[in-house]
Amino acid sequence: MALSYRMLKEYADTSFVEKKSRFISYAQPVYSEEEALQFLGNIRKKHYDATHNCYAYILGESMNIQRSSDDGEPSGTAGVPILEVLKKEELTNSMIIVTRYFGGIMLGAGGLIRAYTEGAVNGIKAAGTVRVQPFAVYQLKMDYNFLSKLQYEIPKKNYIIESIEYLENVTMKALAASEHRDDFIKDIAQWTNGDIPAEPLGEQMLKVDEESGMIVR
């Protein structure tokens, strides 16, 4: 069975000021080092006049690729705190860049760590998070007598109707979180008096918004 994992939901940016230094956080889902470096290049080009563009990213279902950079800040005060926030939140395929415009007041090592940590946390909050998890896919072939009942019952149990094909009979594709596959088969049998078999079609990885619980396309 495929692994489930957490990642950023979407691109976002946000900013705050700490002792006259402006910190701008950029959050972005990424799926490869090439994509991460391209995103970094775009931010560096946008903020060519910034004092620092510090970053961290994690890639892979098992979070096996982890990179960070202080970009000129004292060692361990910028990239590492950003990376630690990603690790604490167990986010992979995700990148945070925190751009700093120096305001003339030194923050010290502790102040920098707190500021870059805050920048990473703010970026994650702005972007939102999803859980990528496997769903079992089923095909249901039926006559029209069962259609309205299944259209009513399936969403009530947090299963998903992926598609419906209307021909002489109805062919429905439905999804259930993989850990609930047995429940789905039992429910379909109960709702249809055992007249409609749930034909398995394999698995599909889908993103589930962790705030709303809705599928993210």
pLDDT, tens only, 176-211: 999 999 999 999 999 999 999 999 999 999 999 998
Rounded to whole angstroms, the Cα distance separating 94 from 83 reads 10
Other beta carbons less than 10 A from residue 186's beta carbon: 12
Give pLDDT tens digits for 119-167: 999 999 999 999 999 999 999 999 999 999 999 999 998 899 999 999 9
**pLDDT one-digit tens code per residue, 90-117:** 999 999 999 999 999 999 999 999 999 9
Q: Over the stretch 23-53, which tens digit does the pLDDT of each residue have?
A: 999 999 999 999 999 999 999 999 999 999 9
| Strands, E assignment, the chain | 5-8, 12-18, 21-29, 52-59, 65-69, 94-101, 129-142, 160-166, 170-177, 199-209, 215-216
Domains parsed from the chain with CATH numbers? 5-127 (3.30.230.30), 131-216 (3.30.70.240)
pLDDT of 3 strictly over 90: no
